[in-house]
């Protein structure tokens, strides 16, 4: 069996085209969605992510402003900056690129963003809404995973979904979204014993552990949908996911590649969240 490739890159392109169209329509009403990205320090990966976000915004006509701050920026300086962004009318989305330097309390910073502008969906109010099944801003990567399953008409209701990883930004929210869609969800993590006993049962397998090649073909149920969130850089610089793509694509029914799967969808959903935030706030 050869799995159908879930083409995140192509899907993200389509979503971006639609966002561009809607941004143009908003321009008729003199509304220009605006995203403020705050980057503290010199983390090379964060700098790449931020540049990707700036480029994506400009391509769809969203005004983006990146505030680059030195590594030794104090927590109170950052809180002051966010307070200013919270009250600016031209800023509809605020994103603080994580990780922050160790001397800054990330949770405190996330809580300081007004929930309406929290386009990452990390604020406890938005997390709470997700838990309660209420409308709110949904975190970009999990939302992108859900959109991919829906686009490829992969049944979720009544299916067994297994999520590997329990982080606040991927594992937990994606599990909640699948639960909301009436899947029966298991969440695995580093202390899970016999991981493969869970994965082999999964109709939908979401791998978000950050461990290259963790998921081997014999761990996957034939015909399953496998969403690979992992982004791991090998010593030779190659980017790979958590799934042994070559082997697993012989067993799975659907699979996302890395790169070209979840990554582009994450950025597309960030643009979507910013657009929706502008519509709500204006
Ligand atoms: P994280 O905070 O490090 O969480 C990793 C999770 O995986 C933890 O819950 C950990 O368990 C679990 N885990 C680690 N090793 C495991 C193993 N051998 N078996 C089972 N579970 C294991 O990472 P994250 O921020 O959620 O990100 C996960 C991956 O997704 C990373 O590769 C990251 O780069 C990638 N990512 C991609 C995108 C994208 O746009 N494509 C966005 C965000 C993240 P414990 O809780 O027990 O430690």
Q: Tell me the domain boundaries of the chain.
A: 31-114, 139-263
Centroid of ligand 1 to alpha carbon of 257 (angstroms): 17
> Got the DSSP string for 174-222?
HHHHHHHTT-EEEEE-TT-SSHHHHHTT-SEEEE-S--TT-B-GGGS-T
Contact present, 63 and 35 (Cβ < 8 Å): yes
> Which residue do the tokens 């910073």 mark?
109
CA 243 vs. chain centroid, Å, equals 18
Ligand 1 touching residue 106 (CB < 6 A): no
Q: Per-residue pLDDT for 222 more than 80?
A: yes
Centroid of ligand 1 to alpha carbon of 126 (angstroms): 21
Q: 144-166 pLDDT, tens per residue?
A: 999 999 999 999 999 999 999 99
- Cite the active site residues: 53, 97, 120
Contact present, 271 and 16 (Cβ < 8 Å): yes
Q: 64-118 pLDDT, tens per residue?
A: 999 999 999 999 999 999 999 999 999 999 999 999 999 999 999 999 999 999 9
Q: Binning pLDDT at 50, 70 and 90, where does residue 215 land? A: very high
Centroid of ligand 1 to alpha carbon of 150 (angstroms): 23
Ligand 1 touching residue 266 (CB < 6 A): yes
**Equal CATH topology for 31-114 and 139-263:** yes
d(CA 121, CA 270): 10
Q: Binning pLDDT at 50, 70 and 90, where does residue 1 land? A: low
d(CA 148, CA 208): 15
Ligand 1 touching residue 232 (CB < 6 A): yes
Contact present, 195 and 219 (Cβ < 8 Å): yes
Residue 51 has a pLDDT of 96
Q: Which atom of ligand 1 is nearest to the CA of 241?
A: 32
Ligand 1 touching residue 68 (CB < 6 A): no
Ligand 1 touching residue 141 (CB < 6 A): yes
What CATH architecture applies to the domain 31-114? 3-Layer(aba) Sandwich (3.40)
Q: Per-residue pLDDT for 191 more than 70?
A: yes
The class (CATH top level) of 139-263 is alpha beta
Assigned token pair, 110:
């996330």
Share of the chain above pLDDT 90, in %: 100
Average pLDDT, the chain: 97
> Got the DSSP string for 230-248?
--EE-TTS-EE-SB-HHHH
Nearest CA to ligand 1 atom 39: 263
d(CA 121, CA 114): 11
Centroid of ligand 1 to alpha carbon of 210 (angstroms): 4
Q: Binning pLDDT at 50, 70 and 90, where does residue 135 land? A: very high
């Amino acid at each position: 069996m050869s799995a159908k490739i879930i083409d995140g890159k192509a899907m993200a392109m389509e979503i971006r085209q639609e966002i561009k169209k809607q941004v143009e329509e908003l321009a008729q009403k003199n509304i220009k969605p605006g995203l403020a990205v705050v980057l503290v320090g010199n983390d090379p990966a964060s700098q790449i992510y931020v540049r990707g976000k700036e480029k994506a915004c400009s391509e769809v006509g969203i005004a983006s402003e990146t505030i680059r701050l030195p590594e030794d920026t104090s927590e109170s300086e950052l809180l002051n900056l966010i307070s200013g962004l919270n009250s600016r009318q031209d800023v509809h989305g605020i994103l603080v690129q994580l990780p922050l330097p160790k001397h800054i309390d990330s949770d405190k910073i996330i809580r300081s963003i007004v929930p309406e502008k929290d386009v990452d969906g990390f604020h406890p109010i938005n997390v709470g809404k997700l838990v309660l099944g209420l409308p709110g801003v949904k975190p970009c990567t999990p939302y992108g995973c859900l959109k991919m399953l829906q686009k490829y008409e992969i049944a979720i209701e009544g299916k067994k979904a297994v999520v590997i990883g329990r982080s606040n930004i991927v594992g937990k929210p994606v599990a909640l979204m699948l639960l909301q869609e009436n899947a029966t969800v298991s969440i695995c993590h580093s202390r899970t014993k016999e991981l493969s006993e869970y994965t082999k049962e999964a109709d939908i397998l979401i791998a978000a552990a950050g461990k290259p090649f963790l998921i081997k073909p014999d761990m996957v149920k034939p015909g399953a949908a496998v969403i690979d969130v992992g982004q791991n850089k090998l010593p030779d610089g190659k980017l790979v996911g958590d799934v042994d793509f070559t082997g697993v694509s012989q067993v799975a029914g659907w699979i996302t590649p890395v790169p070209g799967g979840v990554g582009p969808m994450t950025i597309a959903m960030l643009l979507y969240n910013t657009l929706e935030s502008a519509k709500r706030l204006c």
